[in-house]
Amino acid sequence: MLKILLRYKMRYIIILFVSITSFAQTDQKVIRDIYSNSLTNGKSYEWLDYLSNEIGGRLSGSLNAERAVNWTKSEMELMGLDKVWLQPVMVPKWVRGAPEFAYIETAPGKTTPVRICALGGSISTPATGLKANLIEVKSFEELEKLGKEKIQGKIVFYNRPMDATLIDTFKAYGGCVNQRYEGAVHAIEYGAAGVIVRSMNLAIDDSPHTGSMTYGGIPVKERIPSAAISTQHADLLSSMLKMDNNIQFYFKQNCKQMEDVLSHNVIGEITGSEYPDEYILVGGHLDSWDIGDGSHDDGAGCVQSMDVLRLLKVSGITPKRSIRVVLFMNEENGLRGGNKYAEEAFRKGENHIFALESDAGAFTPRGFYFDTDESNFAQIQSWKELFKPYLIHFFELGGSGADIGPLKTPYNVLSGLKPDSQRYFDHHHSENDTFESIHKRELELGAATMTALVYLIDKYGIIKKVKL
């Protein structure tokens, strides 16, 4: 009897092994097809070429942003998706106006031009510009120590660089971006006349980098103009201040905050064949800053996300669950699109089991960050061998993305694509963020990597918690 039981047990183990192996081989083939289709028949590069070169920078509330909305909607319709629609969302409208101008004055009539750009959300300078002495700091704590007596009437120059020793450049960015975003709020507290911020960039170059800033609840009449200065000219300004702290800085900018305007998120869907009420989302943000064409940030994420759905179709995959692509509006200076999408999803009771965002540039993909529990992370890690042939190795717990963040519940999984980050901040929020800096193959590898993960999530689902 024991022999018979052992024989049946062994037969079960063999069947189970063969079944698992068979599934793995099927997944290997499907993923191989996905990568092949992306690298030989991808659409992401062609789409990005049009978005970047024919439309260009897409600041929220601008004509170009609306052109991008209409064009991406039409492209999704051409893909033959089951549903394509626009989701209305009110967004802020900030305009840069005429190009900024700035110089360092060492003596009357003796000036050195420097490159700046207004920070998004800043007010303009007076019509004649602003000229004042400077005070250089590297932290808000330094401001506090100096006090109002030494800061009153001066331009605060925030000059804390990104930490070049950090391999993950996003951590370096996170370590100094508060001086850009909150710098004006703290400077106003001590009576400053204006703010100049070192660009968020590891490279030493003459391209200033914009980005959003806030005044918090400070009344309009008490606000001061804020601009970024290129890293090269930040170093120049700092060295000149060390030689003579009486030098003056002049800048003129012409930006203006307008009334909110109507815009849209762009949404396309392949309806699931077995579980249509379980949603898998892939997305990026359609808006960009205005001084480049927004190819890396985040045109790449948008076209990669669109191509995920197309690659599923051309690879002959019929999703079990509903797969949505969402191109969010207004990530850069408000997150209105992401918040609106989540608000509507929760209002309708939609079950988003998984969401993946691409918003870290079009460079070679390395893997993903995941915001999830241990059981789901363990399942995802069991798929690592399937990604090994494509040099995808980074599977870590961490953040996901700003636009999908509002969708987070205790029961779903969020993820962010992680490309190689070493060159990203050379382009981020600057005039260098252009289509010429995009490598076709790297972009297409990113689209394929996203599609492979979506395929696996769709096929196997997520490990569900019991809702109490």
Q: Of 190, 222, 257, which residue constitutes the final position of a domain?
A: 257
pLDDT at position 25, please? 77
- Same domain, residue pair 84 and 219: no
**Are 309 and 436 in a shared domain?**
yes
Within a domain: residue 160? yes
Same domain (yes/no): 205, 282: no
Q: Which of 257, 278, 294 finishes a domain?
A: 257
Query: What is the predicted pLDDT for the residue at 468?
Result: 61
Looking at the domain assignment, is residue 20 inside a domain? no
Given this model, what pLDDT does residue 18 score? 38
- CATH number of 151's domain: 3.50.30.30
**Residue 1 domain-assigned (yes or no):** no
Look up the domain containing 77 and give its range: 31-93+259-460
Confirm whether 237 is domain-assigned. Answer: yes
Q: Last residue of a domain, which of 195, 223, 257?
A: 257
Whether 130 and 184 map to the same domain: the answer is yes
Tell me the whole-structure pTM to 2 decimals: 0.93
Same domain, yes or no, for 360 and 388? yes
246 within some domain: yes
Burial track 112-130 (b if 16+ CB lie within 10 A, e otherwise): eebbbbbbbbbbbbeeebb
- Out of 75, 100, 136, 331, the active site residue is 331
231 and 280 in a common domain: no
Q: Is 331 a catalytic residue?
A: yes
- Examine residue 25 and state whether it is found in any structural domain, yes or no: no
Instruction: Using 70 as the pLDDT threshold, list the residues of the chain that sit under it.
Output: 1-24, 466-468
* Measured distance CA(83)–CA(73) in Å, rounded: 11
Which residues make Cβ contacts (< 8 Å) with residue 207, sequence separation at least 6? 115, 199, 201, 230, 430, 431, 432
Q: Check whether residue 150 and residue 69 sit in a common domain.
A: no
Q: Which CATH number fits the domain that encloses residue 51?
A: 3.40.630.10
Q: What is the pLDDT of residue 16?
A: 36
Closest to 308 measured CA to CA, from 331, 327, 325: 325
What pLDDT, on a 0 to 100 scale, did the predictor assign at position 465?
79
